[in-house]
Amino acid sequence: MFIIENYSLAIIFCFITMLCWGSWGNTQKLAGKTWRYELFYWDYTIGILVFAVIMAFTLGSIGNSGRSFIDDIQQVESSNIISAFIGGVIFNASNILLAASVSIAGMAVAFPLGVGLALVLGVFINYFGAPKGDPVLLFIGVALIVIAIVCNGVASGKNKNGETNRAAKKGIWLAAVAGILMSFFYRFVASAMDLNNFEYPAHGLATPYTAFLIFAAGIFISNFLFNTLVMKKPFVGEKVTYRQYFSGKFGTHLVGIFGGCVWALGTLFSYIAAGKAGTAISYALGQGAPMIAAIWGIFIWKEFSKVSKSVNYLLAVMFLFFIAGLSFIVLSGGN
């Protein structure tokens, strides 16, 4: 089993998490040109599950360190299986709302608000669940990111004339609810693992690879409930059907599956890094994803191309505070 041996490598993994979590939404934007997000989301969850299975039987089983996936899952206690599975269910509920927000309001709006809110609440939940790192530096970093979120919220609520768009308002509310829900999922999965010893976890606890696969199963299985409801009663537009999904082009399905794999890579790396960095720091750095998503939304998708100079200034301030906040979070675990 592959595990991380030092804090520096853990931080690198956390930054890869941030890149993945902030970039998967591009696949939704690509598919969204011809494909409703409810249909895209099925392929996305399939990609997560397939990636989790592959990782469990490769990185989670090769080498001389720790237990292989098969040996590990056979000894995991049912309470920890349930905990990781619930984490998947909670994440899926939140992420469907986030995907809806992206489809309505765009990446530069949905990610900074929804994921940023999840960062702030999630750091508190994860730090007090498993304290690790300097709390003063950690929470200073979080406070700076809160300021960045406020700047983005002000900027994203206006259109080119400074008027609030009704559809954008709905997207903002969906992102906020998604962020609150998302702040809880990480702790459920982390509690199923032995964070103090990934190489030889205590009996009944899971390795990151096993916990992540159970988590991915929770996402996929709960999708039959959550996404079916959203397909029948969408937030925007007409309802969609399973017939439409199965009539989709192969390339379009691949885009969604790839998006799921990108997100899954980042999430697995976050859990692997948590052993050395701690859950609060690992989660917080990964949730720096709004900065990455905002970069995509602003510079690639041109979601703010027609706004006033004052809005552009707010976006610039957002980036500065995000960078400063992430720097403090990294320093909080370096002692």
- Structure tokens of 314? 């707010």
Residue numbers of the domain that contains 157:
7-332
| Residue whose tokens read 């690639």 | 300
Q: What is the pLDDT of residue 107?
A: 64
Query: What is the rounded end-to-end Cα distance, in angstroms, of the chain?
Result: 27
1, 70 in Cβ contact below 8 A?
no
Other Cβ atoms less than 10 A from the Cβ of 234: the count is 16
In a domain, 56, yes or no: yes
The pLDDT-based confidence of 163 (bands split at 50, 70, 90) is very low
The percentage of residues in the chain with a pLDDT greater than 70, rounded to a whole number, is 94
The percentage of residues in the chain with a pLDDT greater than 90, rounded to a whole number, is 50
Q: What is the pLDDT of residue 162?
A: 47
- Structure tokens of 310? 């004052």
**Quick check: 275 pLDDT over 50?**
yes
Q: What is the pTM of this model?
A: 0.86
In a domain, 210, yes or no: yes
**Quick check: 286 pLDDT over 90?**
no
In a domain, 60, yes or no: yes
Question: Across all residues in the chain, what is the average pLDDT?
Answer: 88
Q: What is the pLDDT of residue 290?
A: 73
Q: If you write DSSP's letter for every residue of 29-61 in order, what string do you get?
A: HHHTTTS-HHHHHHHHHHHHHHHHHHHHHTTTT
pLDDT mean over 2-27: 91
In a domain, 25, yes or no: yes
Distance CA 212, CA 53 (A): 9
Assign residue 204 a region (left: φ > 0; alpha: ψ between -120 and 50; beta: otherwise).
Answer: left
In a domain, 101, yes or no: yes
Q: φ, ψ for residue 59 (rounded to 5)? A: -60, -30
The pLDDT-based confidence of 55 (bands split at 50, 70, 90) is very high
Q: What is the pLDDT of residue 70?
A: 94
In a domain, 1, yes or no: no
**Quick check: 301 pLDDT over 80?**
no
**Quick check: 206 pLDDT over 50?**
yes
In a domain, 20, yes or no: yes
241, 228 in Cβ contact below 8 A?
no
pLDDT mean over 58-68: 87
**Quick check: 231 pLDDT over 50?**
yes
**Quick check: 165 pLDDT over 70?**
no
pLDDT tens per residue across span 169-199 = 788 889 889 999 999 999 999 999 998 888 8
How many structural domains are present in the chain?
A: 1
**Quick check: 228 pLDDT over 90?**
yes
In a domain, 2, yes or no: no
Q: What is the pLDDT of residue 186?
A: 92
According to DSSP, the residues that pair with 193 across neighbouring strands are 206
pLDDT tens per residue across span 98-121 = 888 877 877 666 767 787 788 888
Q: What is the pLDDT of residue 160?
A: 47
Q: What is the pLDDT of residue 302?
A: 77
